[in-house]
Structures are given as C-alpha cells and as structure tokens.
Amino acid sequence: MLQVNVIREQRDKIIEGLLKRGLTAIDEKIDQVLSLDVQRKEMQRKQDDLLAESNILAKEIGNLMKSGNKDEAEKLKNRTAELKKQTAELGPSLNTIEEELQKLLYAIPNVPAEKVPSGKTAEDNITVHTFGTPQTLAEDAVPHWDLIKKYDIIDFELGIKIAGAGFPVYKGKGAKLQRALINFFLDEAEKQGYREIQPPIVVNEASGYGTGQLPDKEGQMYHATADNLYLIPTAEVPITNLYRDVMVNENDLPIKNVGYTPCFRREAGSWGAHVRGLNRLHQFDKVEIVQIRKPEESYEALDEMCLYVQSLLEKLELPYRKLLLCGGDMGVNSAITFDMEVYAAAQKRWLEVSSVSNFETYQANRLKLRYKNKEGKTQLLHTLNGSALALPRIVAAILENNQTKDGIMVPKVLVPYTRFDIIN
C-alpha cells in the first residue's frame, strides 16, 4: 500500500499517476486519507500528552509518599485516575480512525510508473517486442482441446468427476510433459542464481494482506473457512511472505527465489470460447520467480527478469510478444507490468503465459520489509515477481504449434526431461 507520508508530500503527482488507471474521484480518496491521518495524529498527540502527564504525576506521588505528604499524594492520585480514564476513552476512537485509514489505504492501488501508458483495457497495452513468426498450420489442424482427446493425455471429464470443471487430470505423456516443463523451468532458474523454495500452498490472512491479494481478490481465492486459510493463487504469495516483518541484512541482497506450486483461482464469472480447454483453469501449475531489491536496482532487475522469461520461450521455440500493460490493465499492486503472450496457432490467438511486475514499495510497506542502508537509514525494499512460467497455456501452444500428421513433436530442449520426442 502507499505510504501516508509519501501521499502527503506528493499528493498531486500520485493523483496524476492514479488517473492512468482510469480511476474516478481518486482525489477525494487521497484527501480522505490525509484528513484521517491528521485526525489520527491529533488524537495520538492527545493520548501521548495524557500519558506523559500521568508519568510525571506518578513520580511526584512517589516523592510525596516518601516525604510523608499523603494528603497531597491522594489529590494527585485522583488526577492520575482522571488521566487514565481520558486515555482509555481515547483508545477506541484512535483504533477506529486507524482501522478506517488502513482500510482506505488498502483500497488505493499502486501508482503506475512514469513509462506506463494511460488506458482502461487490454486494447490500450503496447507491444514492445516480438519473437518468431506465428506459423500457419495445415487445414486439418485442430486446437489443443481436440488434440488431448486424440492422444489421451489430458482428461477434463475425469477432472469434473473428481472435483469439477477447471480441474483437469493429466495422464501418460501429458503428465510427463507437465513434469518436464516444471523441471526445465526450475533448472533454468537455478542457472540464473535463483534459490529454489518449496512453500506451503495455503496461507493465512496476514499473508494474503501482506502481498495484496486481500482484500482485493478475496472473491477469487479458495477460502478454507474452518481454519481461515486460503489456497494460493500463485507462489508469489508464500515466497514473498517469507520476508514479512523482516529487517533484511544489506549483505543478503539481492534476494532471488524460485518456486513451483500448484495454483488455485476461482475465476468467478469466466466463460466463453476464450477460456476453453487449458486457456483458463481453477487449478494449474506454475513456476514463479521473486526478487527483493534495493530501490535503485529494481528496474534493472525488472529488465533482467523479462529477458530471462523471454529466453525460456525462445528455448521452447514459441513465437511470443512482450506487452507493456496500460494503467487500467495492471494488477492493483503493480507499478509496472510486462506480459508475455505466446501464439497458439490452431486457435489463431495470443495467450498470456507470464506477467513480470515491479511493485516498488507497495508490497514492502504492507509487509514491513526493510533494510538499513550504508548510512544507517531504514528503507523499504522493492519486490518483484514473474511467472517463469505458467504451464497450461504453454502446454496449449506446444500442442497446437507442434502438431504433425505423425503426432505432436516435443520441443528439443524438453526431450532430455520427457525422454520422448513425440506424443502419438
């Protein structure tokens, strides 16, 4: 979330930035934050003054009792009782203001970076790089949802039987292709200096708030209400929360972690041809990279992460494009996001397979994730994350783009992992 002191110092700049998201009446919300903060400070000052006076009187009472002046001591005791009463009465009001302020800050998204374009929808995103030429398939080519039936490698009907729509069962070479991709992505990340993490796939409420999934995406997360735990929508959540309430040693920076997890998203309200087959699932596998960097290094790290994701797609020989998202198409936590989309030749459409984002201090402020610089000043760190990669649409593109009359050819880079070069 945004820092109140930054909002106070850069009010107009923040409002101007948030307008890139297509928000309305954002100036009113910003001014409400500042007004609540003034009230909070005034009430805190009153409480501090009362406590200070109470402490002074406590010392005087002690001295009076030692000197035998009990009558004067009793008078001061009456005053301290009144001060305690006033302090206690201020407590609930102060708590209410702090809760209102926190709730309002949670509702204000991150400020887009300067280079982020204004816009409301994907139509306003900018293509900044392309790789490969989308191929033209034979006339009898079919989309992946037909291929998986033909070769019996992924079964949606069994998934519906066991759990419901959006929970596919991977079988035979389909399961091996999944495992091959996961291991390939993890091995490549290790080569780039990422440390592998295997985190829990459920998180508590504090973790959800720490990385910004709560309260923003509460309706999109599976919630185990009996234990108040949430199934993770991405490994970003548990891996970043490893550093919640942590003062990082500067010598430990930069922090680079990678993790594979299943991911769970309710995707409420999603329907239509664009979400058919593997295009959108309730459960899917993903390898996630997370970095924690000094503020002055985070944009260099963002470029590095994008190039790494791009290298994976190139090794898989998948045509892709890199998009700079407009303000209205970014997640609420992000200051800047680049999406990678691969071309699925049978569907003749682009499928998002990765988002790489710099959150700047937005998550770190929620997490209280800080470090002390060389001058001894405490600073918030910057957090970044990226899909490297999400599997379902990668699999969809591999199946569609590599189909031949003899079967589906496996990308060469995966053959050492699958130990077969064709699905037939």
CA dist 94 and 47 (Å) reads 9
**Least confident piece of the model among 67-76, 145-154, 213-222:** 67-76
Question: How far, CA to CA in Å, does 227 sit from each of 205, 208, 216, 220, 231?
Answer: 10, 14, 20, 18, 12
Number of Cβ atoms within 10 Å of the Cβ of 236: 31
- CATH 1.10.287.40 domain locations along the chain: 4-107
Mean per-residue pLDDT for 36-49?
94
Confidence at residue 272, expressed as pLDDT on a 0 to 100 scale = 56
Q: Is 267 helix (H, G, I), strand (E, B) or coil?
A: coil
Residue 97 has pLDDT above 90, yes or no: yes
Confidence of residue 251 (pLDDT cuts 50, 70, 90): very high
Binding site as annotated, residues: 234, 265-267, 288, 352-355, 385
The per-type count for the chain, helices as H runs and strands as E runs, is: 13, 18
Tokens standing for residue 296: 């002055």
CA dist 231 and 251 (Å) reads 33
Name the amino acid, one letter, at 317. E
**Least confident piece of the model among 26-40, 72-86, 288-302:** 72-86
Confidence of residue 289 (pLDDT cuts 50, 70, 90): very high
Confidence of residue 273 (pLDDT cuts 50, 70, 90): low
Residue 270 has pLDDT above 70, yes or no: no
**Least confident piece of the model among 7-16, 103-112, 341-350, 372-381:** 372-381
Residue 102 has pLDDT above 60, yes or no: yes
DSSP 403: B
CA dist 36 and 303 (Å) reads 38
Q: How many percent of the chain have pLDDT more than 90?
A: 85
**Least confident piece of the model among 216-230, 245-259, 260-274:** 260-274
- pLDDT tens digits for 186-211? 999 999 999 999 999 999 999 999 99
Q: Are 116 and 128 in contact (CB under 8 A)?
A: no
294 half-sphere exposure, CB direction, 13 A CA radius: 13
Binding site as annotated, residues for L-serine: 234, 265, 288, 385
Superfamily of domain 4-107: Serine-tRNA synthetase, tRNA binding domain (1.10.287.40)
- pLDDT tens digits for 324-381? 999 999 999 999 999 999 999 999 999 999 999 999 999 999 999 999 988 889 999 9
- Average of per-residue pLDDT values in the chain: 95
Residue 418 has pLDDT above 80, yes or no: yes
Residue 296 has pLDDT above 60, yes or no: yes
Tokens standing for residue 387: 């899909």
Superfamily of domain 122-423: Bira Bifunctional Protein; Domain 2 (3.30.930.10)
Torsions phi, psi for 56 (to 5 deg): -65, -45
Binding site as annotated, residues for ATP: 265-267, 352-355
Question: How far, CA to CA in Å, does 375 sit from each of 295, 371, 372, 378?
Answer: 15, 11, 8, 9
- CATH 3.30.930.10 domain locations along the chain: 122-423
Mean per-residue pLDDT for 30-55?
93
**Least confident piece of the model among 72-76, 131-135, 375-379:** 72-76
Confidence at residue 336, expressed as pLDDT on a 0 to 100 scale = 98
Confidence of residue 71 (pLDDT cuts 50, 70, 90): confident
Tokens standing for residue 104: 């309002």
Confidence of residue 217 (pLDDT cuts 50, 70, 90): confident
Most confident range (mean pLDDT) of 51-60, 77-86, 373-382 is: 373-382
For residue 93, give the nearest of 56, 40, 24 by alpha carbon: 40
